[in-house]
Structure 1
Amino acid sequence: MKFAVITDVHGNYDALETVLDDIDRRGDIDKIYNLGDNIGVGHETNKVLDDIFDRDDMEIISGNHDEAIMALVNGTPYPEDLKGKFYEHHQWIQQHLDEDYYDKLNNLPRVIEQTICGKKVLVIHYEIPNDKLDDTIDLQPFSPIETATEANMQSLFEDKNADLILFGHNHTVHLFDDKEKIYFNPGSVGLNNGPNAVYGIVTIDEKGIDIERVKVAYDNEEFLRGFDEKQVPGKQLIFDKFI
């Protein structure tokens, strides 16, 4: 089986389209795993959701930004750790979110577990301890981000039983193989520090697991202009921290 891994689109439609076009051009990708944070930070919310929910070859999980925005939609508690950073921005996203996507976003799983060619594959946005997998987003179930080292990934995901762990959240590439587990984060599709979008390709067969990280160039000028044109709240923080 050969599949693509995308994560952290963050409302960047042009980057997403570039990645999906590249995947489709190859013609040999069986499935796409989407690891969450499709909305928030960027401003092209509904265009991104139109694309991902329109595909029948994509399996999608939720990310922390997706869940925080849906907490505002649902009138449930909002996570304290995001209040000083993204509250007004997430309110803006909520106000522009098409109601047709409420149920779809609310029903996204946090975890996908599959066995492919005898290998156990875990798909998760970032580590959530097993005893917190059912905690609501206001309880801050996602673990703090760890520096990208093999030892840190071993410790972070020590409670997870898998041969391959696919994750996102931290927008930098991770690829570690400790002989028991492979840890792979291809990096953010939508927030990759410049006019490039990234994703991963994983091949699993009787020989084992092969992983490739793909970088594709795209024109990010329209995406950047949109923050001013749409008067997106939190622009300065977003540009300082993510773009």
Structure 2
Amino acid sequence: MVKFAILTDIHGNYDALTAVLDDIDSRHDIEHIYNLGDNIGVGHRTNEVLEVVTNRDDMTYISGNHDEAIMAVAHNEPYPESLKNKFYEHHQWIVEHLDTKYYNFLDGLQREVTQEIEGLNFYFTHYRILEENMKQHISEDPFEPIIDPSLEHVHGLFNGIDADFVTFGHNHVLHHFDDIETIYFNPGSVGLNNGAYAVYGIVEVNNGAINVERVKVPYDNQPFLDGFDEKDVPGKQLIFESFI
């Protein structure tokens, strides 16, 4: 039997991240953690989040669109037009406060991981990128458009991925669908929820069966909310209206 955790879309929320990791560590039977990207951006505790995740020795990392867009700003590279009117000023602020010691980590994040676990095939990503777009720069918007959370839509989104289990993030709502051949799972965002809780997933693989649990962890989210005003974070109105 193998048991591992899936977390995604931390989005600079250090308090939510530590609540989730404390819950994972308290269980003592979770062997590994898959972090599906968007570690930073939107939230404001960038360096604290990166310090925590980079100090883990039990975590596999995936790149998210915010991670990549922020590094495009950091390197004075082209920036995605789809985000320019929403997050460019905010991402500039993130870069101004980002410790350069994390540049190599963020630049080295991979976009997909495939792994065989207990004889079953698992596919980990932030969101679908077609194979022909896998090497495109973030400014070319390689990620597919977000679809509504239904089995039909998710099956179509990941058409061509040969896996028993496909897990992803990006869209911050729960997806848990089983089309007989493939299980699709997105636990939802660790850091951006409309309430004082964080979410992550636990997957147990045992004798050819895959069991999935979504865990909601309560935490005090007031310091996270207050930090936007205390630090004068750009884009607060859009962030609160869209994500919190």
TM-score range, shorter chain: over 0.9
Q: State whether residues 5 and 200 of structure 1, in contact with CA within 8 Å, keep that contact through their aligned partners in structure 2.
A: yes
CA contact (8 A) 1:186 1:198 kept: yes
Q: Would you say the 8 A contact 1:130–1:159 is kept in 2?
A: no
- The answer to whether 1:211 aligns with 2:241 is no
| Counterpart Cα distance in 1 of 2:132 and 2:211 | 31
Deviation at 1:180, TM superposition (A): 1.1
Matched with 1:47 is 48
Q: How does 1:170-209 map to 2 (within 5 A)?
A: 170-209=171-210
- Structure-2 residue corresponding to 1:153: 154
Whether 1:117 aligns to 2:121 is: no
Identify which range, 22-31 or 70-79, moves more after superposition: 70-79
In the comparison of the two structures, how many residue pairs are matched?
243
SS at match of 2:241: helix
Q: Does 1:37 align with 2:65?
A: no
In 1, the alpha carbon distance for the partners of 2:87 and 2:70 equals 10
8 A Cα contact 2:118 2:208, kept in partner? no
CA contact (8 A) 1:129 1:159 kept: no
**Aligned match of 2:59:** 58
Distance 1:117 1:94 in 2: 41
- Counting only pairs closer than 5 Å after superposition, residues 11-160 of structure 1 correspond to structure 2 as 11-160=12-161
CA distance in 2 between counterparts of 1:34 and 1:234 reads 25
Could you give the per-residue CA deviations for residues 183-237 of structure 1, whole angstroms, max 9, x where no partner exists?
Answer: 0000000001110000000011214100000001000010000000000000000
Tell me the SS of whatever aligns to 2:159.
coil
Question: Contact (CA 8 Å) 1:8, 1:38: kept in 2 or not?
Answer: yes
**Runs of 4 or more off by more than 6 Å in structure 1?**
none
Equivalent residues of 2:114, 2:123 under 8 A apart: yes
1:4 aligns with 2:5: yes
Post-superposition offset of 1:37: 0.2
| Corresponding letter in the other structure for 1:193 | N
- Cα distance between partner residues in 2 of 1:147 and 1:119: 27
* Structure 1 unmatched ranges of 5 or more: none
Distance 2:177 2:208 in 1: 18
Identity of aligned pairs, percent? 60
- Report if aligned partners of 2:119, 2:208 keep a CA contact under 8 Å in 1: no
Report deviation, 1:160: 1.0
In structure 1, distance between residues paired with 2:183 and 2:105: 30
Deviations 1:132-181 (A, max 9, x none): 11111001000000000000011000021111001000000000000111
* SS of residue paired to 1:49: helix
One-letter identity of the residue aligned with 1:125: H
User: Contact 1:62–1:109 (CA<8 Å) still a contact in 2?
Assistant: yes
Counterpart amino acid of residue 80 in structure 1: E
Q: Distance in 2 between the 1:29 and 1:49 partners?
A: 21
Q: Distance in 2 between matches of 1:191 and 1:199?
A: 12
- The structural deviation recorded for 1:108 is 0.6
- What TM-score, normalized to structure 2? 0.99
Structure 1 vs Structure 2 CA RMSD: 0.5
Give the Cα–Cα distance (whole angstroms) in 1 for the partners of residues 195 and 94 of structure 2. 23
Mapped partners of 2:160, 2:43: distance in 1: 33
Q: Taking structure 1 as the reference length, what is the TM-score of the superposition?
A: 0.99
